[in-house]
Amino acid sequence: QSVLTQSPSASGTPGQRVTISCSGSTSNIGSNIVNWYQQLPGMAPKLLIHSNNQRPSGVPDRFSASKSGTSASLAISGLQSEDEADYYCAAWDDSLNGVVFGGGTKLTVL
């Protein structure tokens, strides 16, 4: 059972907007930045969003994220087939003194 809670799956058709949620607590999301990672099939994870809502260079502006209280969300607009991947949220946890990940959300583009 992961410390951060994500829905196991999400789906959408090309061009749609989908949202992936990540729920935590005051010791992690509530007091630290949230980062999001994309893992394409068979590949290593890649940083997608850092510091709650910042896109690294090279990440399309179709990807956006936000944080409120002890929850965070990732939004993907103009869904494309190449967005089909696993998405993970992560935060430092002050109680555990370590990094915690969500269980991951598998995004399917129908």
Partner 1 sequence: EVQLLESGGGLVQPGGSLRLSCAASGFTFSSYAMSWVRQAPGKGLEWVSSVSGSGDSTYYADSVKGRFTISRDSSKNTLYLQMNSLRAEDTAVYYCAKQIGGSSFFDYWGQGTLVTVSS
Binding site for partner 1 (CB under 8 A): 2, 32-35, 37, 39, 44-47, 50-51, 56, 86, 88, 90-92, 96-104
State the nearest-atom distance from the C-beta of 49 to partner 1, in Å: 10
- Residue 34's beta-bridge partner residues? 91
Which CB sits closer to partner 1, 6 or 83?
A: 6
Choice between 70 and 77, CB closer to partner 1: 70
- CB crowding 27-53: b at 16 or more within 10 Å, else e: bbbeebebbbbbbeeeeebeebbbebe
